[in-house]
Amino acid sequence: MQTNRKSRIKSIDMLRGLVMVIMALDHVRDYFHFDAYFFDPTDMSQTNVPLFWTRFVTHFCAPVFVFLAGTSAFFVGQRITKKALSTWLLKRGLWLLIAEFTIIKLAWMFKLDYSTILLQVIWVLGISMVCLAGFIHLPKKLMIALSLIAVFGHNLLDSVAPTDPVTSGIWTLLHVFNLLDLGSFQLFVGYPMIPWIFVMPLGYYFGGLYLPSFDPKLRIKRLFQIGTGMVLVFLALRAFNTYGDPNLWADQDSIGLTIASFFNVTKYPPSLLYLLITLGPSIIFLGLVENWQNYWTEKLVVIGRVPMFFYILHIYAIHVLAVFAAILTGFSFSDMVIDLWVTLQPQLRGYGFSLWVVYLIWILLTLALYPICSWYNNYKTDHREKWWLTYL
């Protein structure tokens, strides 16, 4: 198992770096693709095969973020007491919540009013860390059991729809993708808490596979067993087409779109099938790359070591580039000042480019951001005495 001088696990950093790069593709598509302003790429009645898979591959990002955040917490917990780990999780969770509502909101919208508050992936990472600060004090077997019950059973709650405004609002925070009108402001719940807050504890205990005492060959075997098992459960449940996702698959006009429909799983909130088909292959990937080391994997490792830095940087970079693209194609700066989400801006209909242009911008953007991430990674390594660097 390749590690650095601080015993970081390169395969995990590599996976994290890979999903960060893939995530950037999705956000470039949002800000630059012509069709993004007219229909969702997972809409089987309007999408095409390349567009669907461009969207599907980015489904891996959020589950891996949340799962590996739990794994990282496990590693921290090997160096400090459980009480200290709870404090560490609380501080980082609260920092992520503050960041979501300030610097990240500004990046997405280019304005900082609070008529609309977005609860997106950084919010759910933060609130999951806050919850994990308490969860780690529960018995291990109990917490794993509760998490598995939540992950495998939460789709049974899809039909729950409270009518009381207060109860409905609370339920939306817990398990509904929705825009809440709270009078003086709107709350866009993109990432409700269930099942995300139970994915992170599973990632936390997953870290046990990487203890120094765990045999590397056995670990790789376990990674393949766990990952393959998740994929097989996905295939079985999806074939029955009755449980695990509110979006059932159906025959389409072509074999390509029918296959796409089979893999068209629900992200908001994440269904059981969505989690199985994203986390399963990701765990298999960890087994495959445990001993990989080459020029390109090292680049991914660097990005994977500074995920928050890359996340913030790439949003600002994409949005700034999109402003220039909009102005150069006859739109205005104000058109790129976002109210809720960029693809929901009616004034941007008619703006955008072909999918191949999206891929070109994504590649060039990633290449441009890498040297900055490499510099920052080296800066963090050389300035470990600066406590604030651990938050970025």
Residue-wise pLDDT tens digits, 206-246 = 999 999 999 999 999 999 999 999 999 999 999 999 999 99
Residue whose structure tokens are 């591959």:
57
pLDDT at residue 181, as a whole number: 87
DSSP 60: G
Contact (Cβ atoms closer than 8 angstroms) between residue 370 and residue 287: no
Of 82, 88, 2, give the one whose Cα is nearest residue 304: 2
Listed in sequence order, the residues at least 6 apart from 265 whose beta carbon sits closer than 8 Å to its beta carbon are 59, 245, 247, 271, 273, 274, 277
Residue-wise pLDDT tens digits, 277-319 = 999 999 999 999 998 888 889 999 999 999 999 999 999 999 9
pLDDT band per the 50, 70, 90 thresholds, residue 247: very high
Structure tokens that stand for 280 in this block: 């399963």
Predicted confidence (pLDDT) at residue 386 exceeds the cutoff of 90: no
Contact (Cβ atoms closer than 8 angstroms) between residue 227 and residue 287: yes
Predicted confidence (pLDDT) at residue 325 exceeds the cutoff of 50: yes
The phi, psi pair for 244, rounded to 5°, reads 115, -15
pLDDT at residue 4, as a whole number: 42
Listed in sequence order, the residues at least 6 apart from 206 whose beta carbon sits closer than 8 Å to its beta carbon are 67, 70, 71, 74
Structure tokens that stand for 8 in this block: 């970081």
Listed in sequence order, the DSSP H helices in 117-263 are: 121-135, 140-153, 165-175, 196-206, 216-240, 255-262
b/e code 81-117 from CB counts within 10 Å (16+ = b): eeeebbebbeebbebbbebbbeebbebbbbeeeeebb
In the predicted model, what is the mean pLDDT of the chain?
A: 94
> How many whole angstroms separate alpha carbon 57 and alpha carbon 41?
12
pLDDT at residue 7, as a whole number: 58
Helix (H) or strand (E) holding 25: helix 10-32
Q: Indicate the Cα dihedral angle 5, 6, 12, 13, nearest 10°.
A: -80
> How many whole angstroms separate alpha carbon 297 and alpha carbon 276?
25
pLDDT at residue 71, as a whole number: 97
pLDDT at residue 333, as a whole number: 96
Tell me the whole-structure pTM to 2 decimals: 0.95
Residue-wise pLDDT tens digits, 138-189 = 999 999 999 999 999 999 999 998 988 899 999 999 999 999 988 888 999 9
pLDDT at residue 120, as a whole number: 95
The helix-helix angle for 49-57 and 255-262 (nearest 10°) equals 20
Q: What is the mean pLDDT of residues 55-79?
A: 96
Predicted confidence (pLDDT) at residue 6 exceeds the cutoff of 70: no
Predicted confidence (pLDDT) at residue 112 exceeds the cutoff of 80: yes
Residue whose structure tokens are 């109210």:
339
Of 48, 47, 51, give the one whose Cα is nearest residue 26: 51
Q: Where is pLDDT greater, at 83 or 385?
A: 83
Predicted confidence (pLDDT) at residue 5 exceeds the cutoff of 60: no
Give the residue extent of every domain in the chain.
Answer: 10-379
> In 10 A of CB 312, how many CB atoms?
17
